[in-house]
Amino acid sequence: MNAATLPIISLTSLDSDEGLAQLRRAASEVGFFYLIDHGLSDDAQQEYLALSRAFFQLPAEEKQRVDMIHSPHFRGYNAMGNEMTAGRLDAREQFDWMNEELALSAEQLNHPWQKLIGPNLWPSAMPILKPALTTLQNKLSDITVNLLQRLCESLGVDGHALDHTIGTQPYTHAKLIRYPAQASPQQGVGAHKDPGYLTLVMQDAQSGLKVERGDAWVGVPPIAGALVVNIGELLELASNGYLKATNHKVESPIQSAERYSIAFFMAAQLSATVPVLSLPPELKSRALGPSVDPSNPLMTDVGNNVLKGRLRSHPHVTRKHYCDEPLRHLLAKSFAHMPTADICDECRL
């Protein structure tokens, strides 16, 4: 599969039945597609990628001031060697930000996922980053909410069927990512599914993103101006498996080229439980239930499904902020159906 065969969906075509049918096919047969006519110009995207390059070029000590290890809410910077996917280290550095919120006090915490709520860590050496990335977050959030509504329509249900799980604004999580060139092929990020409803990826001119199709991995080469969309685990659950959260990974660039991307994950509010949509009979008969993988149970309680991914990806943050009592006890309860070593290998909860 190449750029010509990975579906290209125009957001402005989704007012028509034909556009919706194309969207449904792309989302159910591939789970990955390019989105065009989404309102974020190629020039604007290049500016955000340039900002990202400038951030990663900051001196190491400036980046370390906002290191994720300081954030119980999984916000901030991760140097190379700090992230695990599929049990192996990823070769990328990244900066994560989410909804800007106040943290809950220890007395207010009833569920471990509530600890995800909190402020971002912004680098004082680059004051432009906070307003610029907040603007980007709002734009991408609007695009994903619109797309989620169109997806619901394409499945023959009310376009607003999932609105109540989002409320006034969805849970959003975004990452600036740099994949440095490696001397030999490396895992930029290992094979995984994204936990939320929908993911948008903005890529520079360097390829590397791959999608699982049957027993093959196919490339998702960049198309100028297009955003890459993928279906997350919550949509697989909401559609009872009619839509699939597709496994994907990034292979590190080799030789001299580095790769920059910006990933944006949109989910329902952390306190929400995702409902199973009432699909019309012709789709329902093809919705055979979400995938069952004991090493990656899909959870309809959004906070736990999101936290599951964060705990595994950043074990150093988990150890520092989640493994002391009473949180450790609550965590063991939330993930009682998962192998405990999967959550924290060191303390085994």
Ligand X SMILES: O=C(O)CCC(=O)C(=O)O
* Interacting residues toward ligand X by CB under 6 A: 175, 177, 189, 194, 201, 203, 209, 248, 250, 261, 263
Closest CA to 208 of 113, 91, 63, 300: 91
Q: By C-beta, is 196 or 330 nearer to ligand X?
A: 196
Contact window for Fe ion (CB under 5 A) among 56-64, 173-181, 189-197, 268-276 = 189-197
Burial class from Cβ neighbours inside 10 Å (0-12, 13-18, 19+) for residue 67 reads middle
Q: Which amino acid is at 189?
A: V
Choice between 172 and 203, CB closer to ligand X: 203
Is 342 a residue that touches Fe ion (CB under 5 A)?
Answer: no
How far is the C-alpha of 264 from the C-alpha of 274, rounded, in Å? Answer: 20
Q: Which is nearer to Fe ion, 243 or 330 (CB)?
A: 243
Candidates 136-144, 168-176, 187-195, 309-317; binding stretch for Fe ion (CB under 5 A): 187-195
Per-residue contact flags (x/-) with Fe ion for residues 145 to 184, judged by CB under 5 A: ----------------------------------------
Q: How far is the CB of 312 from Fe ion (least distance, A)?
A: 13
By the rule CB under 5 A, 83 interacts with Fe ion: no
CA distance linking residue 155 with residue 240, whole number of Å: 12
Q: Which stretch binds Fe ion (CB under 5 A): 128-136, 151-159, 186-194, 321-329?
A: 186-194
CB closer to ligand X, 111 vs 309: 309
Coil vs helix vs strand at 165: helix
C-beta of 19: minimal distance to ligand X in Å?
A: 25
* Closest residue by Cα to residue 32 from 208, 170, 227: 227
**In the complex, least distance from residue 137 CB atom to ligand X, rounded to whole angstroms:** 15
Neighbour-count burial for 7-38, b at 16+ CB within 10 Å, e otherwise: bbbebeebeeeebbebbbebbbebbbbbbbeb
Question: Binding partner of residue 173 among ligand X, Fe ion, none, CB under 5 to 8 Å per kind?
Answer: none
Shortest Cβ contact with Fe ion: which residue?
A: 194
For β-strands 171-179 and 259-267, DSSP reports them as antiparallel
CB of 78 to ligand X, least distance (A): 11
Q: Which is nearer to ligand X, 94 or 149 (CB)?
A: 94
Q: Quick one: 153 or 194, whose CB is closer to Fe ion?
A: 194
Q: Which residues contact 189 (CB under 8 A, 6 or more apart)?
A: 83, 85, 90, 92, 249, 250
Residue 148 binding result from Fe ion, ligand X, none, given CB thresholds of 5 to 8 Å by partner type: none
Per-residue DSSP letter, 80: T
CB 299 within 8 A of CB 186: no
Least gap, CB of 283 to ligand X (angstroms): 27
Minimum separation from the CB atom of position 102 to ligand X (A): 26
- The answer to whether the beta carbons of residues 349 and 340 sit under 8 Å apart is yes
CB nearer to ligand X: pick between 106 and 224: 224
Please tell me whether residue 251 binds Fe ion under the rule CB under 5 A: no
Least spacing, CB of residue 195 vs ligand X, in Å? 9
Task: Please give the DSSP secondary-structure letter assigned to residue 264.
Answer: E
Q: Does 194 bind Fe ion (CB under 5 A)?
A: yes
Residue 163: closest CA among 6, 14, 275, 26? 275
**8 Å CB contact between 170 and 141:** yes
The distance of closest approach from Cβ of residue 171 to ligand X in the complex, given in angstroms and rounded to an integer, is: 15
CA dist 292 and 92 (Å) reads 29
Size of the site for Fe ion (CB under 5 A): 1
Chain positions contacting Fe ion, by CB under 5 A: 194
